[in-house]
A and B are shown apart, each in its own frame.
Chain A
Amino acid sequence: MYQSKWRIFTNHTILILGALFMIMPVWIAFASSTHTREFIFQNGLQFWPGGHMIDNYGAILFDPSATKGRVTALEMLFNSMVLGLGFAIGKVIISMMAAYAIVYFRFKLAVPLFWVIFSTLLLPLEVRIVPSYEVVANLGLLNTYTGLILPLIASATGTFFFRQFYRSVPDELLEAARLDGAGPIRFFIDILVPLSVTMIAAIFIIMFVVGWNQYLWPLLMTTDDQLYTIVIGIKQVYNSLYEGGQIPQFPKAFALTIMATIPPVLVVVIFQRMFIKGLVETEK
């Protein structure tokens, strides 16, 4: 499509301004995280990086006292990673299998069951959080990774997406596989899963970020500092900024925030590539 120079210029100006607007707070948080706390306290937020990046980030990563708890940022990052991965992988697996059952097996209640699953979209975690907590507590799973992940991995959204995808797979593939002697499990593993790679990548990206950003559930579930996720850690650090009559630890709080954003960004960047590559390859 032909575009005049003037139009390209305005389009880009708007886009660049928008991007700057979005990125600026993150940049200021990053720049401010590289100064000493005294400097920030005296001079306010900083636009240019200072010389204490290694000190601040090192402290927050490896020194439990910097995060006001008994756990370092590195451990919290690990916890978040376990939650994010478990959440995303669990959701992908469960929703793929649920959708497989709904689409490919003719059982009486398939359609109503699908709508029951689908209607749970209307009930966010917050609605069922008290009974969920009760169940997990009775199972003795408080303060465990299992308890953190398991109650969250049923996914109506994922089931819905995979259902739509499976319905678009030509029936002849199933028939050809049946003639080739593939049973239901073989067909799922050999044919459907490889065909779903791009769907898996897309849902994995979304679910990882959602899982990583979970706040309320880990907050309820974990009373033990050792299981704190980084999102809770941030909250904890900001809560205790003004405690104890010391100069507030703004730079370290900012450093923790910046670190919390890195893994989701990486996941999006890496899987986005796979996602697009997959799309290009299958459509060719």
Chain B
Amino acid sequence: MATVTLNQAEKTYPNGFKAIHGIDLAIEDGEFTVLVGPSGCGKSTLLRMIAGLESISGGEISIDGKVVNKVAPADRDIAMVFQNYALYPHMNNFDNMAYGLRNRGYSKADIESKVREAARILQLEDHLDRKPRQLSGGQRQRVAMGRAIVRQPKVFLFDEPLSNLDAKLRVDMRLEIKNLQQRLGITSVYVTHDQVEAMTLADRLIVMNGGIAEQIGTPIDIYEKPATRFVAGFIGSPAMNFLDGVISDDGKHVTVGDGGMLDIDHNIAGGRAVVAGIRPEHLSIAQTGQGMINATVRMVESLGAETLVYLDFGSKADNVTLRLQGTHNFSRNDALGLTVQADKIHLFDTESGNRL
């Protein structure tokens, strides 16, 4: 159990490509931190830098207060779970879990008891004699986690561990990982591109884009107060609606598209060009004639518990998404007036994309 601190950590590849542009981060003891972002944003690179599998080009990474820039992966006292499990195919599951302990010179009895204990926690006791290929995807993932927990490392690192599993299993394993982490209380860093995993697992979420940390905060903070337009668009599904607009002269409205007018609750000088962001679940259908924006239905997806309506607003096609509880009947080209509460509107600077 330990803290992990990144101090202006940077990664530049030999070909000159800068993957990580100086990241500051302090992960507390026992905290579950999730790195999320689109492919190529540097999240895996950052994790591998903490693991020691990638060298650090600038800045410092410390584990438990000790700078580990030059420490070999095996000596950092970390364990990693890989996306494709990376189990040793020729060893049975017991040996897979025991391998790290054997290399560290644990006694036979010690290894036996530690592996049995990990197998008990992960319900793998009946599968220890088998080879990884004889197990299902979920069981393999458990063996991979078993290999991580037998060593009782200071830090767990997860590199998209659930992406190779099918949808249902992914949900089960997600809960299992969360449970396990809370029970063992081990500091964890988890990389994913799946925002549901990110939102549900994280104590603290780091949204990355283009090698920088766009925002660091609790999942709810990030959902409710996205710091940039990128974060706002990335977190939340379906994605946030973005409407280009201008602040009215009195500063109390944003005019968007062709004749749309949103009430706002901000303190911004009139005439400024902004992007208004509204989550699909915060839009509601107005009584006739009361709509702040008027849009036409293009497509409807009924999911049972909720209905997603895709609308055309102004001259643009399919640019507004509406999320309603329960089932609703709309047909194509129905005209709908939509309203939104002023405190649910996020405004971003058109140029920088920063929250206003």
Chain A residues within CB distance 8 Å of chain B:
170, 172-173, 175-182, 186, 190-191, 194-195, 197, 282, 284
Contacts and interface: CB of A to CB of B under 8 A. Distances in A.
Interface in B85-109: 86-91, 99-100, 103-104
B4 interface: no
B99 A170 contact: no
A178 B51 CA distance: 10
A200 to B, nearest CB: 13
Contact of A181 (B86, B91, B100): B100
Interface stretch (B72-80, B289-297, B321-329, B343-351): B72-80
B185 to A, nearest CB: 21
- Where chain A touches its partner, the secondary structure class is helix
B86 A176 contact: yes
A178 B53 contact: yes
B133 A284 contact: yes
A172 B86 contact: yes
A175 B87 CA distance: 11
Given A175-B82, A178-B73, A179-B100, 14 more contacts: A170-B84, A172-B86, A175-B73, A175-B86, A176-B80, A176-B87, A178-B53, A179-B73, A179-B74, A179-B78, A179-B79, A180-B74, A180-B103, A181-B103
Nearest to B48: A175
User: Interface residues of B toward A: which range?
Assistant: 20 to 34
B74 A170 contact: no
A181 B90 contact: no
A176 B82 contact: yes
B82 A181 contact: no
Nearest to B82: A172
A190 B100 contact: no
A64 B54 CA distance: 66
A178 B86 contact: no
B53 A175 contact: yes
Contacts of B52: 178
Contacts of B72: 178
B277 to A, nearest CB: 39
Given A175-B80, A284-B133, A180 B86 contact: no
Contacts of A282: 89-90, 133
Contacts of B84: 170, 172
23 contacts: A172-B83, A176-B86, A176-B87, A176-B88, A176-B147, A177-B88, A178-B53, A178-B72, A178-B74, A179-B73, A179-B74, A179-B79, A179-B100, A180-B100, A181-B74, A181-B100, A182-B74, A190-B99, A191-B88, A191-B90, A194-B91, A195-B90, A197-B90
Interface of B: 51-53, 72-74, 78-80, 82-84, 86-91, 99-100, 103-104, 133-134, 147
A186 B104 CA distance: 12
A128 B89 CA distance: 42
Nearest to B151: A180
A182 B99 contact: yes
B352 to A, nearest CB: 38
Ranked nearest first, the 6 interchain pairs of A and B with the lowest CB-CB distance are: A172-B86, A180-B100, A181-B103, A181-B74, A176-B86, A194-B90
B243 to A, nearest CB: 44
A176 B82 CA distance: 8
Given A175-B82, A179-B74, A179-B78, A186 B88 contact: no
Nearest to A195: B90
A2 B163 CA distance: 40
Given A172-B82, A190-B99, A179 B88 contact: no
Contacts of A181: 74, 100, 103-104
Contacts of A186: 103
B85 to A, nearest CB: 8
Nearest to A284: B133
Nearest to B85: A172
Contacts of B51: 175, 179
Contacts of A176: 80, 82, 86-88, 147
B96 to A, nearest CB: 9
B106 to A, nearest CB: 11
Nearest to A180: B100
Contacts of B100: 179-181
A173 B104 CA distance: 18
Nearest to B76: A179
B89 to A, nearest CB: 7
Contact of A180 (B82, B83, B99, B134): B99
A9 to B, nearest CB: 40
Nearest to A182: B103
B74 to A, nearest CB: 4
A178 B133 CA distance: 22
A194 B89 CA distance: 9
Contacts of A172: 82-84, 86
Contacts of A178: 52-53, 72-74
A179 B90 contact: no
B118 to A, nearest CB: 14
B344 to A, nearest CB: 44
